[in-house]
């Protein structure tokens, strides 16, 4: 091996699937992808200078599509995300890291040494894509910024994932998923009206930013097929967090009313929310008039409610949300979930699409 370069093996891990014991009964059987099936990005090389979640999850999706991902990590410690708990006693790596870094090869390069930088440049020269999510200015200090790299690899796609963008007053600020959730207004929209807003425990901003970064890379690769030229693309965590507030900002522009917290109910459709059968809770989403009609006639056996003009439209149903929820709550409480779910002879496939978990 060259100085500053060594390969890190990723042992396989068979996770504890106790929480998914009933998956085979609840869902159709899994059909593995044929081992010799072609992949969309087979033959493409991605040099991955990312860490934590948003960047690594983006390159992991590229890996899932067949790209060869070479993840660059610091010698000794590697990506700090490796040690996020729980850490497997034999692998010495945490579950979050394994979740976001499958199908990659990792190498340790000391970018603070001339030898390490030589290895990095050699890899970039042969790469189709570079993805990085260092703090603003780090790649420039290493001489690995896009302007420098494209001089010796003009077909390179160079993706930067940042917190607030690479320019502007916030360019030097660090960013984390829960902060983006709070600053974007996402937290204020979630939870119950009688208490503080609630962040999503899942790193939804990191994951969705990763998806946008992956999309940007794919779009740039498509553009390269047409033009023969590479380009730089950039995704900011905060920009994506604002996107993740959905259509609430547009509703505000129309109505002037701030979004409110509605718990498990929907401010836009009715009846939508959590209901309880005899043995467990489940979720219903009546997204349109047709679903409401089927819910009343095919599920709870109340064609009279389906025909009632008081419930004919979404606006009318929202105005009578409490009485509708009481009717449905009383009906669902009479039977176990298996009755409301509806299954085939094998006990697997839901037939009633109205009552959804």
- The stretch 323-327 carries a mean pLDDT of 97
Please check whether residue 132 is in contact with residue 51, taking contact to mean a CB–CB distance below 8 angstroms. no
For position 343, what pLDDT does the model report? Answer: 47
pLDDT for 354 beyond 50: no
Query: How many angstroms separate the CA atoms of 163 and 237, rounded?
Result: 5
86-99 pLDDT, tens digit per residue, is 999 999 999 999 99
Query: How many angstroms separate the CA atoms of 335 and 279, rounded?
Result: 8
Q: How confident is the model at residue 28 (pLDDT cuts 50, 70, 90)?
A: confident
Domain spans of the chain, in order of start: 7-29+38-243, 272-341
Q: How confident is the model at residue 357 (pLDDT cuts 50, 70, 90)?
A: very low
Q: How confident is the model at residue 246 (pLDDT cuts 50, 70, 90)?
A: very high
pLDDT for 10 beyond 60: no
On average, the pLDDT of the chain sits at: 90
Poorest-pLDDT segment among 27-41, 66-80, 245-259, 282-296: 27-41
For the domain made up of 272-341, the CATH class stated in words is alpha beta
- Strand 281-285 relative to strand 272-276: parallel, antiparallel, unpaired? antiparallel
Point out the residues that are catalytic. Answer: 206
CATH superfamily of 7-29+38-243: Crotonobetainyl-coa:carnitine coa-transferase; domain 1 (3.40.50.10540)
Query: Measuring CA to CA, how many Å separate 125 from each of 45, 58, 60, 144, 184?
Result: 10, 21, 21, 11, 38
Query: How many angstroms separate the CA atoms of 212 and 218, rounded?
Result: 10
288-308 pLDDT, tens digit per residue, is 999 999 999 999 999 999 999
């Amino acid at each position: 091996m060259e100085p500053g370069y060594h390969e890190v093996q990723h042992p396989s891990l068979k996770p504890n699937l106790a929480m998914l014991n009933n998956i085979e009964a609840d869902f159709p059987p899994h059909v593995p992808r044929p081992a010799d099936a072609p992949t969309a990005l087979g033959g493409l090389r991605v040099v991955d200078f990312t860490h934590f979640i948003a960047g690594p999850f983006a390159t992991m999706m590229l890996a899932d599509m067949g790209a060869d991902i070479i993840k660059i990590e610091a010698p000794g410690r590697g990506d700090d995300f490796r040690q996020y708990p729980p850490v497997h006693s034999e692998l010495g790596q945490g579950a979050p890291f394994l979740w976001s870094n499958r199908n990659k090869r990792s190498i340790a390069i000391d970018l603070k040494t001339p030898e390490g930088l030589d290895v990095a440049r050699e890899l970039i020269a042969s790469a189709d894509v570079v993805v990085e999510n260092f703090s603003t200015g780090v790649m420039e200090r290493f001489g690995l910024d896009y302007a420098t790299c494209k001089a010796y690899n003009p077909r390179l796609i160079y993706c930067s994932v940042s917190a607030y963008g690479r320019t502007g007053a916030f360019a030097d600020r660090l960013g984390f998923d829960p902060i983006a959730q709070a600053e974007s207004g996402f937290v204020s929209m979630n939870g119950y009206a009688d208490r503080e807003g609630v962040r999503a425990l899942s790193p939804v901003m990191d994951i969705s930013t990763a998806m946008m970064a992956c999309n940007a890379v794919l779009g740039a690769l498509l553009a390269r097929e047409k033009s023969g030229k590479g380009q730089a693309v950039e995704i900011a965590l905060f920009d994506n967090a604002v996107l993740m507030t959905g259509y609430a900002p547009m509703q505000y522009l129309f109505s002037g009313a701030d979004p409110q917290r509605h718990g498990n109910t929907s401010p836009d459709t009715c009846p939508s929310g959590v209901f309880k059968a005899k043995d467990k809770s489940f979720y219903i989403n009546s997204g349109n008039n047709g679903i409401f009609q089927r819910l009343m006639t095919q599920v709870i056996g109340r064609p009279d409610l389906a025909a009632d003009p008081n419930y004919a439209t979404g606006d009318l149903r929202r105005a009578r949300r409490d009485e509708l929820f009481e009717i449905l709550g009383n009906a669902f409480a009479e039977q176990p979930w298996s009755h409301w779910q509806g299954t085939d002879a094998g006990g697997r496939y839901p037939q009633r699409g109205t009552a959804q978990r």
